[in-house]
Amino acid sequence: MGTAQQVNETYHRIQPFIEIMDCTLRDGEQTSGVSFLPHEKLQIARMLLKDVNVDRIEVASARVSEGEKDAVKMICRYAKQIGMLERVEVLGFVDGRLSIDWIDDCGGKVINLLAKGSLKHCMHQLHKTPEEHIEEIKRSLEYAGSKGISVNLYLEDWSNGMKESPEYVYRMVDELCRLNIRRFMLPDTLGIMNPLQTIEYFRKMLKRYPDTHFDFHAHNDYDLAVSNSLGAVLCGAKGLHVTVNGLGERCGNAPLSSVQVILKDQFHAKTSINENKLNDISRLVEGYSGIAIAPNQPIVGENVFTQVAGVHADGDNKNNLYCNDLVPERFGRKREYALGKTSGRANIARNLQELGLELTPEQTQKVTKRITELGDRKEIVTQEDLPFIVSDVLKHTTVEERVKLVSYMVSSAYGLKPIASIKVEINGREYAADSTGDGQYDAFVKALRKIYKEKLDRTFPILANYAVSIPPGGRTDALVQSVITWRNGDKLLRTRGLDADQTEAAIKATIKMLNIIEENG
**Residues designated as active site:** 26, 156
Amino acid at residue number 404 = K
The residue among 247, 246, 181 whose CA lies nearest residue 215 is 181
Element (H, E) at 319: none
Cα separation, 146 vs 134, in Å, equals 19
388 near 376, Cβ under 8 Å?
Answer: no
Cα separation, 363 vs 60, in Å, equals 59
The residue among 252, 255, 214 whose CA lies nearest residue 236 is 214
406 near 430, Cβ under 8 Å?
Answer: yes
The residue among 91, 54, 53, 51 whose CA lies nearest residue 72 is 91
Burial class of residue 142 in the structure, from the number of CB atoms within 10 Å of its CB (0-12 exposed, 13-18 middle, 19+ buried): exposed
Within 8 A by CB and 6+ apart from 347, the residues are 307, 308, 309, 310, 312, 313, 337, 338, 339
CA 292 to chain centre: 9
232 near 216, Cβ under 8 Å?
Answer: yes
CA distances 65 to 36, 96, 109, 272, Å, are 13, 19, 19, 32
Using DSSP's 3-state secondary structure scheme, residue 248 falls into coil
- Residue 460: φ, ψ to 5°: -90, 135
